[in-house]
């Protein structure tokens, strides 16, 4: 069921984090099954694979999570059309306005 919920959100172009509550159930069930499947000899291999997977996910998510483009660069390169980046345009100016108020 969580896979279907995630697929529907992606097909409807929802935010990637919207189906996370449904996916948490699948992750918990998978963790229990993995723990039962792993024998002591396999655990070290599994930890290595999981660390490599986590590093690759962080490398892919870094441009979305850490806004390292300036607004001028985002507009000139066309990156601003991506929804995650588009939502960041104008925030520094608005926070400065709120701070002055």
Distance CA 98, CA 100 (A): 5
Distance CA 70, CA 12 (A): 29
Per-residue pLDDT of the chain (101 residues; tens, 9 = 90+): 777 888 888 888 777 777 888 888 888 888 888 888 887 777 788 888 889 999 998 887 776 666 666 667 767 777 656 656 666 667 778 888 999 99
What are the DSSP E strand ranges found in the chain? none
Residues whose CB falls within 8 Å of the CB of residue 13, separated by 6 or more in sequence, listed in order: none
């Amino acid at each position: 069921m969580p896979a279907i919920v995630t697929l529907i959100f992606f097909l409807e172009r929802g935010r990637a984090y919207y189906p996370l509550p449904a996916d948490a159930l699948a992750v918990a069930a998978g963790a229990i099954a993995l723990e039962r499947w792993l024998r002591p000899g396999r655990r070290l291999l599994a930890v290595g694979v999981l660390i490599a997977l986590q590093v690759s996910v962080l490398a892919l998510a870094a441009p979305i999570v850490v806004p390292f483009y300036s607004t001028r660069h985002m507009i000139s390169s066309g990156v601003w059309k991506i929804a995650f980046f588009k939502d960041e345009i104008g925030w520094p100016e608005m926070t400065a306005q709120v701070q002055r108020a």
